[in-house]
Amino acid sequence: MNSSEHTPADLLRSALAGDPGRPLVTYYDDTTGERVELSATTLANWVAKTGNLLQDELGAERGSRLALLLPAHWQTAVWVLACAATGVVTDIGGDPAEAEIVVTGPGTLEEARACLGERIALGLRPLGARFPQGPPAGFTDYAVAVPGQGDAFTAYDPPEPADPALTIGGRTFSGAALLERARADAAGLGLSAGDRLLSLRGWDTWDGLSAGLFAPLAAGASVVLCPNAAQGPGRLDEAALAARRTSEGVTHFAD
């Protein structure tokens, strides 16, 4: 536990202060063969750009609500942390009709059209590439909008620990409560600084989101996300999964 951490955004600041060049989030898409590795520095740069997009282009303010309709993915981590930095309340799988902003992947575009505010679409393609035929009608392509944003971010109205930060599974966490739960989960998983956790869990529940992002950050650990390895066309057999755990230097596992 770092005594300077009071809101979820402080977790990434602690990672930057510790070892900014080490792998922090590694993502595998076993249906396409994609592997993306983000250091704390690289993740923080994406978060800064996305935070600036939220504030300066989308008009988001502290307390604004954003419906996040994305799977477990490295770009989802970027959005969750950018919302935390700006004070925007992330509603995982939330109702777009009740949100001022919706962020969606290709599979939930029709659902996302219920949002009367800003609509952002992600192709979730390798390396964060654009939609090949341009953005869907009524949406801004995140891959087009984010590169030109600034590399440094300062919140106009920084969130406080008691502010609502995240809604998931019908439960809303304040920033302080989220940190407390993440630290408890890190302890329950046996995580400590320098550990590396491989997670097969989806991010539609707190347990999945915590294991795949918040608990490793709270412990000073790193995470390998393999959400397609447990089922579907990307499913890995035991030998392949064991080989990945070895190649990635995994110390802990969450299935």
Q: Using one digit for the tens of pLDDT, what is the confidence trace for 47-91?
A: 999 999 999 999 999 999 999 999 999 999 999 999 999 999 999
- Enumerate the domain spans of the chain: 9-254
Average pLDDT over residues 30-53: 96
Phi-psi region of 4 (alpha: psi -120 to 50; beta: other; left: phi over 0): alpha
- Kindly tell me if the per-residue pLDDT of 1 is higher than 70: no
Residue 233's pLDDT is: 84
CB atoms within 10 A of CB 32: 13
The shares of helix, strand and coil residues in the chain, as percent rounded to the nearest 5, are: 40, 20, 40
3-state secondary structure of 27: strand
Place of tokens 């590694």: 26
Percent of the residues in the chain that have a pLDDT greater than 90, as a whole number? 90
pLDDT band at residue 126 under the 50/70/90 scheme: confident
- Kindly tell me if the per-residue pLDDT of 4 is higher than 80: no
Average pLDDT over residues 93-117: 97
Asked whether the beta carbons of 181 and 175 are under 8 A apart, the reply is no
| Residues β-bridged to residue 103 | 68, 120
CA-based nearest residue to 14, from 166, 198, 218: 218
Residue 134's pLDDT is: 86
How much is the mean pLDDT over the chain?
95
pTM score:
0.96
User: How far does the chain reach from its first CA to its final CA, in angstroms?
Assistant: 25
Residue 133's pLDDT is: 85
Residue 3's pLDDT is: 60
* Distance (Å, whole) CA 24 – CA 191: 14
What tokens appear for 223 in the block? 């995470």
What single string gives the DSSP state of each residue in 96-112? GGG-SEEEE-GGGHHHH
At 245, the amino acid letter reads R
Residue 132's pLDDT is: 87
* Distance (Å, whole) CA 40 – CA 11: 11
- Kindly tell me if the per-residue pLDDT of 163 is higher than 80: yes
- Bridging pattern class, strands 65-69 and 23-29: unpaired
CATH top-level class of 9-254: alpha beta
